[in-house]
Chain A
Amino acid sequence: MVTSTTHRQPTGAEAGRAPHLPASAPRSTGRRWSAGTLGTQAFLVVLALAFLAPVAWALVSAFKPATQIISDPLGLDVTALTTENFRRMFSDVPIGRGFLNTAVVLLAKGSLTLFCAPLAAYAFAKYRFRGRELLFGTVLITLMLPTVVLIIPLLLEMKELGWVNTYQALILPGAVDAFAIFWMRQVIAAVPDELLDAARVDGCTEFGIFWRVLLPVIRPALAGLAVLTVMNIYNDFVWPVVAASSSRMATLQVVLSTLAQNITGNRIGADYATVTGELLAAASLALVPLLIIFIALQKHFINGILAGSVKG
Chain B
Amino acid sequence: MTALLTTSTRGRRRPHLPRAVAPYAFVLPFVAIFVAFSVYPMLFTLRLSFTDWHGSGGAQWVGLGNYTYLLGNEAFWSSLGNSAVLWLLIVPVQMVLALLVAVLLDNARTRMRGFYRIAFLVPFVTPLVAVAQIWVVVFDQDYGAVNGVLNLVGLPDVGWLTTTQWAKPTLALLFLWKTTGFIVIILLSGLQSIEPSVYEAAAIDGASRSRRLWSITVPLVRRTLMFSVVLQTLAVFQMFAEPFVVTDGGPYGSTTTAGLHLYDHITRADLGTGAANSFLLVIVVMALSLVFVRLLRSED
Q: Which one, A79-87, A88-96, A215-223, A279-287, is touching chain B?
A: A279-287
A253 x B19 contact (CB < 8 A):
no
Query: Chain B residues with Cβ under 8 A from A264's Cβ?
Result: 136, 248
Q: Is the Cβ of B136 less than 8 Å from the Cβ of A173?
A: no
Q: A5-B192, A287-B127 are in contact. Are A295 and B118 (CB under 8 A)?
A: yes
Interface of B is mostly: helix
A269-312: CB near B (< 8 Å → 1, else 0) gives: 00010001001101110110011001100100110011001111
When distances are taken between beta carbons in the complex, the residues of chain B under 8 Å from A178 are 38
Q: Are B126's CB and A57's CB within 8 A?
A: no
Q: Does B279 contact A (CB under 8 A)?
A: yes
Q: How far is the CB of B286 from chain A (nearest CB, A)?
A: 6
Closest A residue by C-beta to B188: A306
Among A70, A260, A284, the residue within 8 A (CB) of B132 is: A260
* Cα distance, A135 to B38, chains bound together (Å): 12
A55 x B134 contact (CB < 8 A): yes
Which of B42-50, B63-71, B87-95, B163-171 is the contact stretch?
A: B42-50
Give 1 or 0 for each of A41-63: 1 = CB within 8 Å of chain B CB: 10110011111101101100100
Q: A283 to B34, Cβ gap below 8 A? A: no
User: Which B residue's beta carbon lies closest to that of A71?
Assistant: B143
Contact B262 A16 (CB under 8 A): no
Q: Is the CB of B126 within 8 A of A55?
A: yes
Query: Which residues of chain A are near B143, meaning CB under 8 Å?
Result: 69-71, 73, 272, 276
Chain B residue numbers with a CB within 8 Å of A36 are 209
Taking residues whose C-beta sits less than 8 angstroms from the other chain, chain A's interface range is: 35 or more
The 8 Å CB contact of A203, one of B12, B107, B109, B145, is B12
B292 at the interface (CB under 8 A from A): no
How far apart are B119's CB and chain A's nearest CB, in angstroms?
4
Q: Which of B120-168 contact A (CB under 8 A)?
A: 120-123, 125-138, 143-145, 148-149, 152
Q: Is the CB of A305 within 8 A of B185?
A: yes
Q: List the interface of chain A (C-beta within 8 A of B).
A: 1-2, 5-9, 11, 14-22, 24-26, 28, 36-37, 40-41, 43-44, 47-52, 54-55, 57-58, 61, 69-74, 112, 115-117, 119-120, 122-124, 127-129, 132, 135, 138-139, 142, 144-154, 156-157, 172-176, 178, 181, 200, 203, 205-208, 210, 231, 234-235, 237-238, 252-253, 256-257, 259-260, 263-264, 272, 276, 279-280, 282-284, 286-287, 290-291, 294-295, 298, 301-302, 305-306, 309-312
Further pairs besides A58-B134, A252-B127: 17, Cβ < 8 Å: A26-B199, A40-B104, A41-B110, A47-B120, A51-B123, A52-B119, A54-B131, A57-B145, A120-B30, A172-B33, A176-B29, A176-B34, A205-B17, A253-B128, A256-B127, A263-B136, A287-B127
